[in-house]
Chains A and B, each alone.
Chain A
Amino acid sequence: MVHALGKASSLLKPDGVLIDIHPTLELATLEVRIGGDTHRAGVVTEADGGEEYKDADAALAFTVRQGLLRIEREATFTFVTHADSLATLREHLADAWQDAVIDDVSARAIETLMTATAADKELLLRERVRMTRFRVLPTRDSSLVTRDSCEPPAWPAP
């Protein structure tokens, strides 16, 4: 990841900007909307416990510490996927989010809620996503990203 950030930075003009988009570690939630009412039905977990997001956070923090990038702005938003059934959502996730796990309790809650006779109903997957804008610093030097530094250390203590 650090190498990818270094490479992307090296491909930018001197005043270039890099934007990263990736989910936060907050658990994604599942809700069933029936008409105007929304019912919490469960969560989606990651098979690997969100390791890839932790690694992405660590890689970005490392490049900032190394002076390659400077954080300029940050935003978080809720990314919503709408599905007309649990089967449809599972099929979508099989392509788009292969580490996603919907446990049996959540699945049963969804199926129960989706048996509602109302025609206007859907399943909602809500993910919290962070978007960060970085400025590539003039001193950028991809040699900062050495083989030894490929594995970034954990976040610095606050």
Chain B
Amino acid sequence: MTVRVDPEGREIAALEELAGSLAGKHVLEIGCGDGRLTWRYASSAARVLAIDPDRDLIAVAREDLPSALADRVELRATGIEELSAREASFDLAVFSWSL
């Protein structure tokens, strides 16, 4: 009983092409779900705040968060409207299948 999602890596290839280099960049991912896409790009970014209003999905993401990314990825169970203007320092915002 297995499912493989985008093993061809077409989504991350498109993101790398459109976003360009993420080196040194602060990324806000809106609708990160279980972190499926997050894990694929986060190692290239300086910091990632990945949010999703679904607490269950964020719990799954926290369990699956690769240890190598723990120092640069923050997972938060919240919606975009709850983010404070004090956090307005992102280089890139990604709506991940969430609009």
- Please report the C-alpha to C-alpha distance between residue A19 and residue B19 in the assembled complex, in whole angstroms: 8
Name the segment of A24-32, A79-87, A113-121 touching the other chain.
A79-87
Which residue of the partner chain, among A17, A79, A82, A85, contacts B11 with CB atoms under 8 Å? Answer: A79
Which residue of the partner chain, among B3, B18, B96, contacts A82 with CB atoms under 8 Å? Answer: B3
Interface string of B64-99 (1 = CB under 8 A from A): 000000000000000011010101111111111111
Residues on the A chain within 8 Å of B14, using CB:
75, 77, 129, 131
Of the candidates A11, A16, A23, the one having the most CB atoms from chain B within 10 angstroms of its own CB is A11
- Please report the C-alpha to C-alpha distance between residue A80 and residue B93 in the assembled complex, in whole angstroms: 24
Residues on the A chain within 8 Å of B17, using CB:
75
| Contacting pair B81 A3 (CB below 8 A) | yes
| Contacting pair B10 A79 (CB below 8 A) | yes
| Known pairs A77-B14, A82-B3; A21 contacts B97 (CB<8 A) | yes
| Contacting pair A11 B94 (CB below 8 A) | no
Residues on the B chain within 8 Å of A96, using CB:
5, 33
Residues on the A chain within 8 Å of B4, using CB:
81-83
| Contacting pair A60 B99 (CB below 8 A) | yes
Interface residues of A in 53-69 (CB under 8 A from B): 55-56, 59-60
Chain B residue at minimum C-beta to C-beta distance from A85: B1
Give the B-binding residues of A (Cβ under 8 A). Answer: 1, 3-5, 7-13, 15-23, 55-56, 59-60, 73, 75, 77-85, 87-89, 91-92, 96, 129, 131-133
Q: List 15 additional A-B contacts (Cβ < 8 Å) besides A77-B13, A83-B3, A133-B18.
A: A4-B95, A9-B93, A11-B89, A12-B28, A12-B90, A13-B88, A15-B91, A19-B19, A19-B93, A19-B94, A20-B99, A75-B17, A79-B10, A80-B7, A88-B3
Q: Can you sample 12 A-B contacts with CB below 8 Å? A: A4-B81, A5-B99, A12-B88, A20-B94, A21-B11, A21-B95, A77-B13, A88-B1, A96-B5, A131-B14, A131-B15, A131-B18
